[in-house]
Structure 1
């Protein structure tokens, strides 16, 4: 019987973690998917990310390319969430062990904003659970330990769990639950984007 594999991608994680290979390193999603297919066919792939509203032309073109089928693109289902901005007035200082006021150096009346990715973790969990009867192995490209409860539920219900990640920022809880870890750093040259 064929092992049906679902690959879920936290794009923010992969984008930030790829710089652990080198500051100018970028991987190619098509090459990465082809490399992953060397270990077995992939039933379905989802790419989840947060973008500004509206997305830039470059982001829009990239997301359209992700959806293109082979050989033009990797044929990845793309789910985008809006980046959330919230005002920030203070932050906790670890050394002082108290909150300190943040002020714009240009004008203290300026409003400082924190931009955060929202919705991606919930989207990953939702896809993993709603498709539970459609796959045997979950391949996760995320380092977020907040996903551990969902991963434990899946593995306790007979699903295999693999990670496809860089050697950076990966929760040890996720690592300890993985049946297999594909370290992208180990084959980084094979999946490098050529500009």
Structure 2
């Protein structure tokens, strides 16, 4: 079984910060994906705040040296009507494009995201005969994504002993 891993970086971050309250080790996530078959690709999608952000660059370097292909987009600041600023770098379309541009390379896609925008992409993967797993957590995964994933949803909390980053 050839496997490709697609990590929605923003969703991955907020899932850990807001719901899990523990940190996923990105290298352990790769190892877990390898346990599902031959890992042929691992993509990590993330908005860049600034190319001069040293901490962010160290994190991206660690991901790249671990085996992830990094896909970035600059974060845009959007001024709301009330004057507040929202920061966004939506990479959903890049994730879906890569899922379909590399579709001949894998038999199973692992999507790390709870974003309901991926509902249709997963329906189309299934129609093309591809298997998939959605990794997210209860209370964070959109209902439409949970509905399409069915038995192919794995709650990251059930993998804590395999994925948690241990700090010493």
TM-score, normalization by structure 1? 0.78
Q: Once the 2 structures are TM-superposed, how far is the Cα of residue 143 of structure 1 from its aligned partner?
A: 1.1
Q: Does 1:184 align with 2:156?
A: yes
The match for 2:122 among 151, 156, 164 is 151
2:75 corresponds to: 83
2:76/2:89 contact within 8 Å kept: yes
Alpha-carbon displacement from aligned partner over 1:142-171 (angstroms, at most 9, x marks no partner): 111112222211111111121122233212
Q: What is the distance in 2 between the residues matched to 1:168 and 1:4? A: 30
Q: What is the distance in 2 between the residues matched to 1:176 and 1:182? A: 13
Q: Once the 2 structures are TM-superposed, how far is the Cα of residue 28 of structure 1 from its aligned partner?
A: 0.8
Within a 5 Å distance, the mapping from 1:79-158 to structure 2 comes to 79-89=71-81, 102=82, 112-118=84-90, 120-158=91-129
Q: Once the 2 structures are TM-superposed, how far is the Cα of residue 184 of structure 1 from its aligned partner?
A: 1.3
Moved over 4 A (4+): none
1:166/1:185 contact within 8 Å kept: yes
The match for 2:34 among 33, 37, 44 is 37
Describe the SS at the equivalent of 1:32.
Answer: helix
1:161/1:177 contact within 8 Å kept: no
Q: What is the distance in 1 between the residues matched to 2:101 and 2:7? A: 16
1:63 corresponds to: 60
Q: Once the 2 structures are TM-superposed, how far is the Cα of residue 75 of structure 1 from its aligned partner?
A: 0.7
1:21 corresponds to: 20
Count of residues paired in the alignment: 165
Larger CA Rg, structure 1 vs 2: 1
2:51 corresponds to: 54
Q: What is the distance in 2 between the residues matched to 1:53 and 1:32? A: 26
Q: What is the distance in 1 between the residues matched to 2:122 and 2:115? A: 11
Q: Once the 2 structures are TM-superposed, how far is the Cα of residue 194 of structure 1 from its aligned partner?
A: 2.4
RMSD (Å), alpha carbons: 1.6
Q: What is the distance in 2 between the residues matched to 1:43 and 1:125? A: 17
Structure 2 unaligned runs (5+)? none
Structure 1 unaligned runs (5+)? 69-73, 90-101, 103-110
